Chains A and B, each alone.
Chain A
Amino acid sequence: METTTSTTRTYRHFFIVALLCLSAGVWIGHLGLWSYLLPEHLKDILPFRMLRAMHVTLVVAWIFAAAIGGVYHYIQKETQGNYKPILLKIHLWGYVLLGGIILLSYFLNRYGGREYWAFPPPLAIGIAVLWLLFAWNTFKAAWNYKQEKCLLEWPLYLWMWATGILFFLYTFTEVYLWTLPFFGKTVLRDITVQWKAYGSLVGSWNMMVYGTALYLATRPEAFRSYACSKTAYALYLIGLANLIMGWAHHIYPVPTYQWIKTLAYFISMTELIVLGKLLWDWYRFPPRFQGPSPYRYYLIGGDIWVFLNLLLAIAISIPAVNLYAHGTHLVVAHSMGTTIGINTHILLASLFYISEPLLSEHQRRRSITFFYLFNIGLIIFWLGLIVAGFHESPLIGNPTTPHIKYLPQSNQWMWVVLIASIPIAIAITGITTILIKRLLNAVS
């Protein structure tokens, strides 16, 4: 058993919290699908609005907790910086307490916020304070590193984590601008700013997750210099531009200023460069699922989901295509593909990378089996949402068609989505059980 310090114990606790959130989030999402498809029977026992809010909160909590734990762990490894154990503990237990209060508020039907951040707005203050603590901890640790190395020589993943941390604070503040009458007492301005904040906020956590992916991908000695290369920095700048201005592809049909939307269109098309780079890399180094390391499987899985989601994201960012995709399950396929497909694969890769020395041969093999089960379920789930979206889109352009008319066509595919969510939930439960067992052993 390796010796664990107080700080390593704390960020391992972050991982355990993250995995519990993931497992619960996926099962609640599954229940939400039942509620979506059979509201006549379940609307009072399992209200969709409550399950959706819980599902979103838990999955977002998974992404943040796994990313935060990873950033703490890797920054300490990279910079040799030290954290104050008490501050890490306050962060962890504050996170758990706040998450519990948010879930309780949903359970008691106390809302007041908006889509995705549906909890009563005062709780957002707690999130902001905890994030400031996270920023303080990480920047303080990285400061020692800065003194040793010039800022310009930082590997890109450090810049990506820093970008994600700072942009979250900025965009999270934007999310709550609606509480000011200047924004809240309007319709179009409010929707515009809301989606500016949401789009950029997702971009900010993506910076943290993709920074983690870059860190993992550059661990083999042969690839280490890539983290400081001009190509990597160029791709980062594309990501940054999309983070700041790409959001408006969500609001093409909203009658706000055209320049905001046209700019977003052109910025979104820069993702074609990322797509081209990904294909070029695959041509040079074809991805191979082999070897005993589960983290490599999950990292390559994340890469494949980046490719699939880029195709979908670029397609629905073209306004003429978006006309038919907006307001349908095609958009849900995009968000599920991003959160479950890309983020979850990368973060699981990160957790497997950290836990690898603790895993037995049998656990590695099982983790790889669960990887395949997870992906079989996920691809059917994703395609089901896309086909459901196609069924809805011709009718979206016909305002006289009542919603109830196109539900049967769309819902037959939502049943496929529900069935596909079962292997996903089983695989996630299996993966989280393996990882939690190992992490618990390591911290005890």
Chain B
Amino acid sequence: MKAKRVFFLLFLFLLFMFGYSWQVYRAFPKRERLLSDKAYQGKLVFQKYHCIACHQLYGLGGFMGPDLTNVISRSGEAYVKTILQYGTARMPRLGLTQEEIEAVVAFLKAVDSSGRFPLKKDEYKIQWYGDYYLHY
């Protein structure tokens, strides 16, 4: 009897876990846009050169280079293309092809339009219990 109760609770737990996961998977926030084929290619190039080892998106990644979430609106496409082509004193010249550079820029433009990071003071609101929500 006790075992049956435990297995029923286990079943409920699994149901909850998969239900929760499904809710997370299907989340499509209002700022979300599907990537174009070119931007998707750019994402794969971004992974191929392991850019996230040194850079961040939304503050997630390595801290050696700057966060790239809004690099397009902050520095402009031309600047990003130049860095990708030649590198900097701190960043190696990766040898990207022109096509790869265009694709990465398309990906970074898509990331740029998806949100803001770092947040400015007027882009979030702290709740009384310590949580905060974004309202940009």
Contact surface of A with B, Cβ cutoff 8 Å:
36, 39-40, 43-44, 47-49, 52-53, 111-115, 118, 150-152, 174, 177, 181, 183-189, 191-193, 195-196, 244-245, 250-258, 260-262, 265, 318-321, 323, 326-329, 332, 392, 396-399, 402-404
In the complex, what distance in Å separates the CA atom of A53 from the CA atom of B121?
A: 35
Contact pick for B119, options A53, A152, A323, A328, CB 8 Å: A323
Beyond A255-B114, A319-B130, is A245–B20 a contact (Cβ under 8 Å)? Answer: yes
Contact between A187 and B111, CB atoms less than 8 A apart = yes
Beyond A319-B132, A403-B65, is A186–B90 a contact (Cβ under 8 Å)? Answer: no
Contact between A260 and B24, CB atoms less than 8 A apart = yes
Contact between A261 and B131, CB atoms less than 8 A apart = yes
Instruction: Kindly supply a per-residue 1/0 record for chain B positions 43-68, scoring 1 wherever the CB is within 8 Å of any chain A CB and 0 otherwise.
Output: 11001111111101111111111110
Contact between B43 and A184, CB atoms less than 8 A apart = yes
Contact between B63 and A397, CB atoms less than 8 A apart = no
In the complex, what distance in Å separates the CA atom of A174 from the CA atom of B20?
A: 14
Contact between A111 and B20, CB atoms less than 8 A apart = no
In the complex, what distance in Å separates the CA atom of A192 from the CA atom of B60?
A: 11
In the complex, what distance in Å separates the CA atom of A113 from the CA atom of B52?
A: 10
15 contacts between A and B (CB under 8 A): A43-B91, A49-B54, A53-B53, A114-B52, A115-B61, A151-B6, A174-B21, A188-B32, A189-B28, A193-B25, A244-B20, A253-B58, A329-B63, A396-B118, A404-B66
Q: Whose C-beta in chain A lies nearest to the C-beta of B107? A: A187
Q: Whose C-beta in chain B lies nearest to the C-beta of A188? A: B32
B32 to A: closest C-beta gap in Å: 5
Contact between B25 and A250, CB atoms less than 8 A apart = no
In the complex, what distance in Å separates the CA atom of A120 from the CA atom of B26?
A: 26
In the complex, what distance in Å separates the CA atom of A396 from the CA atom of B133?
A: 17
Please provide the chain B residues from 48 to 95 with a CB less than 8 Å away from any CB of chain A in the complex: 48-54, 56-67, 70, 74, 89-92
In the complex, what distance in Å separates the CA atom of A254 from the CA atom of B25?
A: 15
Q: Whose C-beta in chain B lies nearest to the C-beta of A115? A: B52
Contact pick for A265, options B28, B114, B130, CB 8 Å: B130
A sample of 4 more A-B contacts (CB under 8 A), given A43-B92, A52-B54, A319-B132, is: A39-B91, A152-B3, A187-B32, A327-B117
In the complex, what distance in Å separates the CA atom of A262 from the CA atom of B32?
A: 20
Q: Whose C-beta in chain A lies nearest to the C-beta of B31? A: A255
Instruction: Kindly supply a per-residue 1/0 record for chain B positions 8-37, scoring 1 wherever the CB is within 8 Å of any chain A CB and 0 otherwise.
Output: 000000000100110111011101111100
Beyond A43-B92, A397-B121, A399-B70, is A262–B28 a contact (Cβ under 8 Å)? Answer: no
In the complex, what distance in Å separates the CA atom of A237 from the CA atom of B23?
A: 22
In the complex, what distance in Å separates the CA atom of A118 from the CA atom of B51?
A: 10
Chain B residues, Cβ within 8 Å of A398: 118
Chain A residues, Cβ within 8 Å of B64: 36, 39, 48
Chain B residues, Cβ within 8 Å of A244: 17, 20
Beyond A256-B29, A396-B118, is A191–B53 a contact (Cβ under 8 Å)? Answer: no
Chain A residues, Cβ within 8 Å of B40: 181, 184-185
Chain B residues, Cβ within 8 Å of A399: 70, 74, 116, 118, 120
B41 to A: closest C-beta gap in Å: 11
Contact between A323 and B124, CB atoms less than 8 A apart = yes
A106 to B: closest C-beta gap in Å: 9
Contact pick for A43, options B31, B90, B132, CB 8 Å: B90
Contact between A250 and B114, CB atoms less than 8 A apart = no
Contact between A111 and B49, CB atoms less than 8 A apart = yes
Instruction: Kindly supply a per-residue 1/0 record for chain B positions 104-127, scoring 1 wherever the CB is within 8 Å of any chain A CB and 0 otherwise.
Output: 000000110011111111001010
